[in-house]
Amino acid sequence: MGIAAAIGVLLPFPFYYYLWNWPQSWLHFCGRGRDPSKVMAYVSHFFKLLQFISLFSVSSFHWPPPLYFWPLFAFGQFLNFRVYQLLGEAGTYYGVRFGKTIPWVTEFPFGVIKDPQYVGSVMSLLACMSWVPFQYILLWVLGYVFMIQVESKEDPSTRAKPLD
């Protein structure tokens, strides 16, 4: 079960890497008239479900959680919600890579925390350390660190061109 859980935890990261580096091929795959960010969101949610199932398969739950759970999980989810609230679906799901115009945002947490969506996700994962074996949390965090590195190098010339 351990190898399958590890694969499940890492499953979405090759997909994100592919989309970030080759957005034009995703645009062609989605086709005319379909929003590539929305399709990416659907696929990402499916991968997230598989990640959670993988974690649940190796977890052991007990109640109540340790005290550090509440602030870490609450602030992590607040950051994720705030990023989505400020950027919307297109901003969260690589809209800029698909040729969309995303407004520049300077409200908190942007300008204060670098990559707040990943920081929030890592905080939420760390909150669950009493339930999930460390190696799976570490794998997921390393996936986020990998994506932070990938997304830090954005070349505007590789953005997708609209389908005519």
Q: Does 76 appear as a known binding residue?
A: yes
Q: Does 91 appear as a known binding residue?
A: no
Q: Does 46 appear as a known binding residue?
A: no
CA distances from 81 to 55, 76, 125, 154 (A): 22, 9, 15, 24
Q: Does 154 appear as a known binding residue?
A: yes
Q: Does 164 appear as a known binding residue?
A: no
Binding residues, as ranges, are 74-76, 154-155
Binding residues for S-adenosyl-L-methionine, as ranges, are 74-76, 154-155
